[in-house]
């Protein structure tokens, strides 16, 4: 299974970047990246998840006051990014908010994005959710979307081709009739969203501006409309209600903290640099005074295999902002993928020191430590990955790295306990993918080897007991 995942991921990747098994990008594709698609599915959209420490940090910082205003524990909500030009966002499987990169790129300000987050949070608060099974509650957001779209079998078996075909066959979320809301639910999500924005002291102007932007879409034939309009039916009533609310809201003219504007610009710069590098190179110059422009450009050079220019620009950014963890991360990623692992290790350390609560940065640091030839780094790698797991449970990738780290320990020490830990980590990895049967098999194996009643033994037992003999919860 482990190998199947890695093979599947390696197919799409640029050969130079992935040769060393370096399959972590700052933007990582985590579900169905790049499987060869059957001919009839070639033009159909399919989903790839991306993980990015900076963008997730921004979304979370922006969303936290809104979640609090909704009386929702911010830590209980997971935010997932889907790489797609489609403009959409939705909630599914409990407290999971999914944002398409096309939607993030269409927003022009933090207030607009806050409006969308408030509306989606209104769906959560209103209980407008696709019913989640028990497995969904324990799985990662990626696995949940797979389950919602009915592709869990493909994911669980590591049969990427089946997964990609199933998702492509789905055409898009809206046409499947999944995740679409009624007009009544839309109005109620707006009303809830507006009250959350007021409670958080955020102007609803952004919500109105984005709705007006979408309103032009209603006139287009349905195959040219953005998906968001189809999953969240837009009516003049909704726009009028938001405009009316603004007339009386004390926060109508308030603005988000200027730091959010900076974060918003960098999010858009990063997405353009990674996803549309040619466009980024056309629209910017090396001498552009805006950091966001040079950031987009540095990433675009890196994406188009022009490493020296990418590094030169990134070094310039670091001189201007020597405490920016994401600039260190970018440089580390560039070097790591070009086999300069020891330099990458030092830069990732710097990034983690600057933003210790980012699970993704710790995973990247742990991975770089794991890939370095220095066996002394192994224990530090395990510490980083363990801490990443504490900060963010249910991320299959972290458990895969940890399994690999414990596997190396087993080789070095010939200590059988580490073999037990490998099985335990693979059990957790399977839980995070929603693959209960595999989770149970690995938990069984771990229980046979690990010393009884130790913490990891107990957790392996928890996994085993939470799944019945049929492999279901
Ligand atoms: Zn909606």
Can you give the pLDDT at residue 231?
Answer: 73
Residue-level pLDDT at 134? 52
Sign (positive/negative) of CA torsion 378, 380, 385, 389? positive
Rounded distance between C-alpha atoms, residue 98 and residue 148, angstroms: 12
What pLDDT, in 10s, does the model give residues 369-409? 999 988 899 999 999 999 999 998 888 899 999 999 999 99
Closest by CA position to 329, among listed 59, 55, 81, 75: 55
Give residue 313's Cα distance to chain centre.
26
Greatest C-alpha distance within the chain: 71
- Cα 410 to ligand 1 centre (Å): 50
Look at strands 96-100 and 89-91 and give their pairing.
Answer: antiparallel
What pLDDT score does 7 carry? 25
What's the 88 CA to ligand 1 centre distance in angstroms? 10
* 286 CA from centroid of ligand 1 (Å): 41
Angle at 378 between CA 351 and CA 444, to 5 degrees: 110
Centroid of ligand 1 to alpha carbon of 199 (angstroms): 20
> Can you give the C-alpha Rg of the chain in angstroms?
22
CB 150 within 8 A of CB 163: no
Q: How far is the CA of 63 from the centre of ligand 1 (A)?
A: 16
- Report the C-alpha gap between 4 and 221 in whole angstroms: 41
CA of 168 relative to ligand 1 center, distance in Å: 23
| 366 Cα–ligand 1 center, Å | 38
pTM: 0.81
- What is the whole-number distance in angstroms between the Cα of residue 46 and the centre of ligand 1? 22
Q: How far apart are CA 424 and CA 419, in angstroms?
A: 9
Neighbours of ion ligand 1 (CB under 5 A): 181, 186, 189, 232
Q: What is the pLDDT of residue 1?
A: 22
Determine the distance separating the centroid of ligand 1 and the alpha carbon of 210, expressed in angstroms: 13
Distance 211 CA to ligand 1 centre (A): 11
pLDDT at 130: 55
Nearest one of 112, 54, 452 to 291, comparing CA atoms: 54
Determine the distance separating the centroid of ligand 1 and the alpha carbon of 123, expressed in angstroms: 7
Query: What distance in angstroms lies between residue 181's CA and the mean position of ligand 1's atoms?
Result: 6
Residues in the chain: 473
The reported pLDDT for the residue numbered 137 is 57
What does the domain layout of the chain look like in residue ranges?
A: 2-248
Sequence-separated (6 or more) residues with CB below 8 Å from residue 137: 93, 94
Q: Which residues of the chain have pLDDT under 70?
A: 1-47, 129-180, 217-225, 468-473
């Amino acid at each position: 299974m482990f190998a199947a995942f890695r093979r599947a991921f390696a197919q799409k990747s640029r050969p130079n970047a992935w040769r060393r098994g370096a399959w972590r990008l700052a933007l990582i594709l985590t579900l169905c990246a790049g499987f060869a698609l059957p001919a009839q599915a070639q033009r159909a959209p399919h989903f790839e998840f991306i993980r990015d420490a900076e963008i997730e940090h921004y979304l979370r910082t922006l969303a936290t006051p809104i979640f609090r205003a909704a009386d929702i524990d911010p830590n209980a909500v997971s935010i997932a990014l889907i790489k797609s030009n489609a403009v959409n966002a939705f909630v599914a499987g409990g407290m999971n908010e999914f944002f398409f990169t096309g939607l993030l790129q269409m927003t022009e300000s933090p207030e607009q994005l806050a409006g969308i987050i408030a509306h989606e949070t209104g769906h959560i608060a209103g209980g407008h959710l696709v019913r989640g099974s028990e497995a969904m509650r324990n799985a990662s957001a990626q696995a949940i979307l797979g389950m919602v779209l009915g592709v869990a079998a493909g994911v669980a078996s590591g049969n990427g081709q089946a997964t990609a075909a199933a998702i492509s066959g789905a055409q898009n979320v809206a046409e499947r009739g999944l995740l679409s809301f009624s007009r009544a639910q839309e109005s109620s999500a707006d009303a809830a969203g507006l009250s959350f924005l007021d409670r958080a002291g955020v102007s609803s102007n952004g919500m109105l501006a984005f709705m007006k932007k979408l309103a032009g879409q209603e006139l287009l034939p349905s195959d040219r409309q953005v998906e968001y309009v189809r999953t969240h039916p837009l009516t003049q009533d909704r726009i009028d209600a938001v405009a009316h609310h603004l007339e009386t809201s004390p926060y109508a003219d308030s603005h988000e903290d200027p730091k959010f504007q900076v974060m918003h610009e960098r999010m858009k710069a990063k997405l353009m640099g990674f996803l549309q590098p040619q466009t980024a190179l056309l629209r910017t110059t090396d001498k552009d005074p805006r950091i966001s422009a040079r950031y987009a450009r540095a990433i675009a050079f890196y994406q188009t295999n022009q490493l020296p220019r990418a590094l030169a620009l990134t070094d310039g950014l670091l001189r201007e902002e020597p405490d920016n963890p994401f600039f260190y991360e970018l440089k580390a990623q560039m070097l790591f993928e070009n086999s300069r692992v020891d330099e990458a290790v030092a830069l990732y350390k710097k990034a983690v020191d600057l933003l210790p609560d980012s699970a993704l940065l710790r995973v990247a640091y742990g991975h770089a430590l794991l890939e370095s030839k220095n066996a002394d780094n192994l224990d530090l790698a395990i510490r980083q990955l363990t801490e990443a797991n504490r900060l963010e449970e249910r991320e299959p990738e972290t458990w895969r790295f940890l399994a690999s780290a414990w596997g190396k320990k087993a080789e070095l020490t010939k200590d059988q306990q580490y073999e037990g830990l490998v099985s335990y980590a693979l059990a957790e990895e399977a839980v995070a993918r929603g693959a209960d049967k595999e989770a149970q098999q690995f938990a069984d194996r771990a229980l046979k080897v690990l010393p009884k009643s130790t913490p990891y033994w107990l957790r392996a037992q928890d996994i085993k007991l939470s799944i019945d003999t049929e492999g279901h919860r």
